[in-house]
């Protein structure tokens, strides 16, 4: 038998237990897997497996029979300390904890390598969508030079409601909370922090170097209005919150921000709580991975797959690593090449100012407002020009980045 | 160094050489990979690596330094004999040869297991799209109960041309041939045989049992007309050639046929030569994998990824297998539950016959023809009813299956 422990019996943890118990026939290793301990501070006397629960982590880390630990507690502490202790004790650790992977991934992967075991985190990005393993294994012969991801289901649900139901941001957020798609405090989602951790993990994998979340320009969706959604639609676009990674000659650009994407782009059809991750590889060209980016069973499915893979590689470290580096390889996001959609309070003077600053662009209007798209240019140059527009007395109501495909 | 041999220097084989040479920095194993032999009956004196070529397979199979062989010749013979000999000699074999995998996969996988090496075929389905490894590794904790795949780029290109350009089938096929997307003899693509091999491989993986191509009901796209494409669009559907796999309580249903799918289904947006594979798993829910299903570099990317994975698992057999079985577990395709779109030569008598056989359905007309969709029912019952329609003197012009989501 392969004896495992689950740290945390919340949504994901209880899902992990359920998936292990219900999928015994899916593989040889699933058949041989036995949950020996579950760590949680709460009591669950009503559960048939209540005898598995413990409040004492030392019981798990000191149990030589336990070979795989699923850390699904979330948060940095004590998850970080527990993970380190487990790896030091020679136990494989798998996790859905994107915050921990994004923050301490380099160190924990290095520790796993030294101990010849594995630290796996398929569930940390895209929930149940296979993405970590495809990037590291199936695309091993590719230079991954661009990733565009709808990485957060909550914000994608909110934007989809705004686009298809005409809900305001506030109403859509309320619906998301009522449906359990958003936390009572939704900041981590709507301000883009969750997407930031996920693109940090994908970027680190794509360039084999640690990409620090704190260096990623991150912007949420709180300023997106229904007017923008409608103008976008008239222009043939939809607004999505995108995590973006691009490899350039002298470094990388990483960013999280709302972007307008053409309606015929494969990511445009990724609706509601679904996630979509669009990857460009040197040899393989364009790929997209689509599925449920969160939820109890999809996330648990990825955690248990990692547990099975750990069992299959019980005596070896799989090649999955990125390194801490002092080198400054993250370029200023203002260097990125893209376009902007701009919406202004519209009148003749505004239109003249637009034309003098941005050349001949198509301006479309509704009521008191006018909107246009800039030509393609450097992010920094375009925002400078937009600031000049304001300097000339034009009231700029919104400015959203536009994805331009080569 | 990891010394490898390439069998066949056609489109894929030359792509494999190119990807190996150009991606030295993508991983440790890529750095250590050295092409020692290339097997081809032709001479390539102009190539800088012409000294690697041989016409004698024994030189490769008897070279103890060669540990990985990429079989990219295609066809059953001598690919089958060469693969067997290589595996028997203890060499890992990777391939893009879907015909061989679909036909002799069970035997070759078993042989690889006995020899504690690997037979890998990520490139055999979906070109560069990661699908084999996600199914067997990332979804190891899932019961895969349904797969719907746009598995053939040629037919998808033809159908996309018909849908978006209004080309007839014949014109679209001609364009496909001019663009190099279709062979001069396009039968394997347009009659559905290529898609059949691919769904056979996916189905075998999903149920761990050998699914014989000969038992798969296979229908191509040669009878799809522009009229059908237009009626489909008015009804909110697009026509795609789909490989379908469904697990039911008492067996499986596997089929290749044109199907109408709703325009908002993720597969509907998979256009031109792209492939899309939609997978339903017990825990993970709906997933889709999207990318280039063919082409020199995408396919080579998957072949080289398998070569790297073989190098990483040089001393062990990865869990990838399905078994030959005498058990009859493939159900009659007529048992499947779906709907039909029917187009008939339309007049009052036809409409009356439709209503008397299919109940109140919405009938839409254009010129001399009328079309409708049946209710959901058993495939066999519905085709029986459609035959009765003909029996009552109605000229049935076409009948196409319709995907009905639960």
| B182-240: pLDDT as tens digits | 999 999 999 999 999 999 999 999 999 999 999 999 999 999 999 999 999 999 999 99
Q: Does A16 touch chain B (CB under 8 A)?
A: no
Q: Give the pLDDT of residue B30.
A: 83
Query: How close B147 gets to chain A, by Cα (Å)?
Result: 14
> What token pair was written down for B383?
């085709």
Interface of B with A in 300-319 (CB under 8 A): 300-302, 304-305, 307-309, 312, 318-319
**What is the share, in percent, of chain B residues with pLDDT greater than 90?**
91
Q: Helices (DSSP H) in A166-225: which residue ranges?
A: 169-178, 187-190, 193-207
pLDDT of B373 above 90: yes
Q: What H or E segment, with its residue span, contains residue A373?
A: strand A369-373
Considering only CA atoms, which of A212, A211, A217 is closest in space to residue A192? A217
Query: How close A369 gets to chain B, by Cα (Å)?
Result: 32
Considering only CA atoms, which of A226, A222, A243 is closest in space to residue A173? A222
Q: Helices (DSSP H) in B146-234: which residue ranges?
A: 153-165, 169-178, 187-190, 193-207, 226-234
Over residues B32-45, mean pLDDT: 96
Report the alpha-carbon distance of residue A284 to residue A286 in Å, rounded: 7
> What token pair was written down for B117?
């090496």
Note whether B290 contacts A288, CB cutoff 8 Å: yes
Report the alpha-carbon distance of residue A81 to residue A76 in Å, rounded: 9
Q: What is the ipTM of this complex?
A: 0.93
Considering only CA atoms, which of A65, A13, A83 is closest in space to residue A42? A13
Q: Which chain A residue lies closest to B289 (C-alpha atoms)?
A: A289
Note whether B287 contacts A139, CB cutoff 8 Å: no
**Pairing of the two strands B364-366 and B337-345:** unpaired
> What token pair was written down for A379?
């992010």
Report the alpha-carbon distance of residue A285 to residue A20 in Å, rounded: 36
Over residues A252-274, mean pLDDT: 96
Report the alpha-carbon distance of residue B22 to residue A141 in Å, rounded: 9
pLDDT band at A141 (very low <50, low <70, confident <90, very high): confident
Note whether A292 contacts B286, CB cutoff 8 Å: yes
Report DSSP state, residue A339: E
Q: Does A347 touch chain B (CB under 8 A)?
A: no
Query: How close A135 gets to chain B, by Cα (Å)?
Result: 9
For the stretch A307-330, pLDDT in tens is 999 999 999 999 888 988 888 899
pLDDT of A67 above 90: yes
pLDDT of B265 above 90: yes
Q: Give the pLDDT of residue B213.
A: 94
Considering only CA atoms, which of A124, A256, A307 is closest in space to residue A201? A124
By annotation, the residues of B acting in catalysis are 198
Instruction: List, in order, residues 6 or more apart from B55 with CB less than 8 Å away.
Output: B39, B40, B41
Residue A218 gets the label, from left (phi > 0), alpha (psi -120 to 50) or beta, of beta
Q: Give the pLDDT of residue B326.
A: 80
> What token pair was written down for A368?
């008191």
Interface of B with A in 65-124 (CB under 8 A): 122
Q: What one-character-per-residue DSSP string does B269-303 give?
A: G--TTEEEEEEEETTTEEEEEEEE-SSHHHHHHHH
Q: Helices (DSSP H) in B271-378: which residue ranges?
A: 296-312, 348-358
By annotation, the residues of A acting in catalysis are 198
Q: Give the pLDDT of residue B406.
A: 63
pLDDT of A74 above 70: yes
> What token pair was written down for B313?
């698992």
Report the alpha-carbon distance of residue B196 to residue B99 in Å, rounded: 10
Considering only CA atoms, which of B75, B58, B54 is closest in space to residue B9? B54
Over residues B152-170, mean pLDDT: 97
Over residues B9-17, mean pLDDT: 96
Considering only CA atoms, which of B85, B333, B72 is closest in space to residue B196? B333
Q: Which residues pair with B34 in a beta bridge?
A: B3
pLDDT of A264 above 80: yes
For the stretch A161-210, pLDDT in tens is 999 999 999 999 999 999 999 999 999 999 999 999 999 999 999 999 99
The phi and psi torsions of B241 (rounded to 5 degrees) equal -85, 115
Q: Give the pLDDT of residue A26.
A: 76
Report the alpha-carbon distance of residue B36 to residue B60 in Å, rounded: 9
A76 C-beta neighbours (distance < 10 Å), count: 12
For the stretch A214-238, pLDDT in tens is 999 999 999 999 999 999 999 999 9
The phi and psi torsions of B119 (rounded to 5 degrees) equal -120, 110
Q: What is the pTM of this model?
A: 0.95
Mean pLDDT of chain B: 95
Q: Give the pLDDT of residue A326.
A: 80
Burial class (CB in 10 A: 0-12, 13-18, 19+), B78: middle
CA dihedral A207, A212, A215, A221 (to 10 degrees): 90
pLDDT of A7 above 80: yes
Q: Which chain B residue lies closest to A123 (C-alpha atoms)?
A: B138
Under 8 Å between Cβ of B288 and B130: no
> What token pair was written down for A139?
């695309």
**What is the share, in percent, of chain B residues with pLDDT greater than 70?**
100
Give the CA distances from residue B390 to residues B55, B339, B367, in Å, rounded to whole numbers and listed in that order.
Answer: 59, 18, 20
């Amino acid at each position: 038998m392969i004896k495992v422990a689950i740290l945390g019996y919340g949504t994901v943890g209880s899902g992990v237990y359920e998936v292990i118990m219900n999928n015994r026939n899916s593989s040889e290793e699933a058949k041989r897997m036995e949950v020996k301990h579950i760590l949680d501070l709460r009591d669950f006397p009503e559960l048939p497996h209540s005898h598995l629960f413990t409040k004492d982590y030392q019981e798990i880390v000191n149990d030589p029979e336990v070979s795989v630990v699923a850390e699904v507690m979330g948060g940095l502490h004590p998850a970080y300390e527990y993970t380190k202790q487990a790896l030091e004790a020679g136990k494989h650790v798998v996790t859905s904890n994107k915050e921990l992977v994004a923050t301490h991934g380099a160190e924990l992967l290095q520790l796993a390598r030294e101990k010849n075991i594995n630290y796996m985190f398929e569930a940390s990005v895209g929930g149940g969508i296979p993405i970590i393993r495809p990037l590291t294994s199936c695309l091993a012969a590719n230079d991954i030079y661009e990733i565009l991801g709808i990485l957060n289901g909550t914000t994608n649900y909110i934007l989809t409601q705004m686009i298809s139901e005409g809900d305001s941001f506030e109403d859509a957020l309320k619906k998301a909370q009522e449906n359990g798609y958003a936390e009572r405090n939704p900041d981590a989602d709507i301000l883009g922090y969750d997407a930031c951790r996920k693109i940090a993990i994908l970027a680190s994998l794509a360039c084999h170097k640690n990409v620090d979340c704190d260096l990623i320009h991150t912007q949420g969706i709180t300023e997106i209005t229904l007017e923008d959604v409608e103008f976008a639609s008239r222009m043939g676009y939809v607004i999505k919150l995108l995590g973006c990674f691009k490899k350039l000659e002298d470094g990388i650009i990483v960013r999280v921000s709302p972007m307008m994407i053409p309606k015929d782009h494969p990511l445009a059809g990724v609706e509601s709580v679904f996630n979509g991750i669009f990857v460009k590889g040197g040899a393989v060209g364009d790929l997209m991975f689509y599925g449920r980016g969160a939820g109890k069973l999809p996330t648990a499915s990825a955690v248990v797959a990692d547990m099975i893979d750990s069992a299959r590689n019980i005596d070896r470290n799989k090649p999955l690593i990125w390194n801490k580096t002092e080198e400054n390889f993250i370029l200023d996001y203002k260097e990125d090449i893209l376009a902007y959609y701009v919406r202004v309070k519209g009148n003749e003077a505004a239109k003249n100012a637009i034309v003098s600053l941005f050349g001949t662009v198509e301006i479309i209007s509704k009521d008191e407002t006018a909107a246009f798209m800039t030509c393609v240019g450097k992010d920094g140059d375009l925002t400078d020009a937009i600031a000049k527009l304001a300097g000339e007395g034009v009231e700029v109501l919104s400015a959203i980045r536009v994805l331009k495909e080569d």
